Amino acid sequence: NMKLGGLGPDYETIKEKKQKLKLQKEYSKQINEYNMKNIIVAQRLPAKPQVSSVSRQKALEYAKKIPRPKTFITRQSDQEVKEERVLPQAPNGTSLPQIPSLESLWNRHEKEKEVVAAFKALHIL
């Protein structure tokens, strides 16, 4: 029942490797135990002295003196607030988006009419 054509397993080298690994593990255990017994509590290094960085202090002072950008908060008039609160309701109950004022739509329409007239005059359309 031998497999012909092969050299077969080399049991002697396997035993040697196994013995070598076993010795390495034993040695590592011994070193670990020795080190655990002889640990000297390392003294912690003293904390770094708080040296005030001159350049950092200057930078912080400069940052305090810089004027901050103003945020533009436009307050809406009471009428606009009331208009926003009352949104038209669609038949199915969902609110519709707010419609721009009639004047702004009329102005936009007039401007677009002028643009179209200019294109017609140039025979582009």
pLDDT at 55 over 80: yes
**Helix, strand, or coil (residue 82):** helix
Task: Estimate to the nearest angstrom the gap between the alpha carbon of 74 and the chain centroid.
Answer: 32
**Cα(98)–Cα(62) distance, integer angstroms:** 46
What is residue 103's predicted lDDT score, i.e. its pLDDT? 85
H/E element, 72: none
The per-residue pLDDT for range 68-104, each reduced to its tens digit, is 887 777 665 555 555 555 555 656 666 656 667 888 8
At 43, is the pLDDT very low, low, confident or very high (cuts 50, 70, 90)? Answer: very low
The per-residue pLDDT for range 19-36, each reduced to its tens digit, is 999 999 999 999 999 888
pTM equals 0.28
Instruction: Return the minimum-mean-pLDDT range out of 50-54, 59-63, 78-82, 89-93.
Output: 78-82
**Cα(25)–Cα(15) distance, integer angstroms:** 15
